[in-house]
Amino acid sequence: MPFLGQDWRSPGWSWIKTEDGWKRCESCNPELGRESSQCSLSHGVMLNSEDEEIFNNEECEYASKKRKKDHFRNDTNTQSFYREKWIYVHKESTKERHGYCTLGEAFNRLDFSSAIQDIRRFTYVVKLLQLIAKSQLTSLSGVAQKNYFNILDKIVQKVLCDHQNPRLIKNLLQDLSSTLCTLIRGVGKSVLVGNINIWICRLETVLNWQQQLQNLQMTKVNDGLTLSDLPLHTLSNILHRFSDGWDVVTLGQVTPTLYVLSEDRQLWKKLCQYHFAEKQFCRHLILSEKGHVEWKLMYFTLQKYYPTKEQYGDTLHFCRHCSILFWKDYHLAWLLKDSGHPCTAADPDSCFTPVSPQHFIDLFKF
């Protein structure tokens, strides 16, 4: 028989099989039910105003203790990380393998915890976490959600320690806090995996991280060579290496010399040509009073309408021959001819495809 009852925590109703079919049993002792209702009624009558205040305080204290207990169960010190470099991506059941791979399982098993310590993979992992925060947070299992916040905690502590890439993390936390507010207040408990108190504690933790990053002070290093000591052509080459316009603006705020170099029209023209097609920036052409193209304004205008090209030092790879998602270690690949996973192809390198963060999520959309 299916589980039937008014509350999922109740023991359910009792049923008896008869000749006419299954019938629900009535309460065996109706007097006991009347006694309990009378006791609750008398208890309500005995409460005066002071007792009601004490009762409400005890109720709030109990809710607070329960919330702390739920948060303790979800403590970030309890981790469920795997150390695997690859995972088989199967989308349907076969005779050899039952089930399919989900986004949460891939997030659990691939070694993202160590990837954030690699400067080449750091931006890639942060972008992936940001995309998950925007649209895929509720599709993760309970363990995957716990690992998600564990990795995020490691990223925040790393940024607070080494003072690198704070802008990326601020954008990630802003999107995550907006999503959590929408899920907790707007959507409700129906789509959330786990206790609502855990999600409230997670939101408070994210707001606390945002406050810590807001109060982050960059320490000035007075020893050794600084940017001001470099020649102008070297500083210009550094600016031309950036693929993100916000990085150019941020570096231009360091010194007056860098500000002048960051306003170079040719620099912003190359950024527009790198990220956008000619047809795109011809539709949003911005001219100055003298008739010159305002390439800097065009870049930030086009950024609102079209996606920019993503550039990462290292990404996950997908083997089309084996259907395996894996981290590729270039040092081992060069020294030991290691492809990063047990590949059976004759020419493994020809089967590898870099996986962008959005492509990673699309792999698990069935």
Q: Given CA atoms 274, 279, 285, 290 in this order, what sign does their dihedral have?
A: positive
Q: Six-digit token pair at 84?
A: 């695997």
Q: Give the count of beta carbons closer than 10 Å to the beta carbon of residue 198.
A: 20
Give the chain's residues under pLDDT 50: 1, 3, 5-7, 27-52, 54-55, 72, 76-79, 81
- What are the phi and psi torsion angles at 165 (to 5°)? 60, 45
The predicted-structure confidence for 73-115, as pLDDT tens digits, reads as follows: 555 444 454 556 788 887 665 665 555 678 887 877 888 888 8
pLDDT score of 29:
43
Under the phi-then-psi rule, with left for phi > 0, alpha for psi from -120 to 50, and beta for the rest, what region is 365?
A: beta
The predicted-structure confidence for 180-213, as pLDDT tens digits, reads as follows: 988 887 655 566 777 788 888 999 999 999 999 9
pLDDT score of 186:
64
User: What does the angle CA 301 – CA 304 – CA 307 come to, to the nearest 5 degrees?
Assistant: 115
What's the rounded Cα separation, in Å, for the pair 262 and 116?
30
pLDDT score of 233:
92
Q: Roughly what angle, to the nearest 10 degrees, separates helices 119-131 and 166-181?
A: 20
The predicted-structure confidence for 147-166, as pLDDT tens digits, reads as follows: 899 999 999 999 999 888 89
pLDDT score of 50:
46
What's the rounded Cα separation, in Å, for the pair 249 and 246?
5
pLDDT score of 30:
46
pLDDT score of 154:
93
pLDDT score of 70:
52
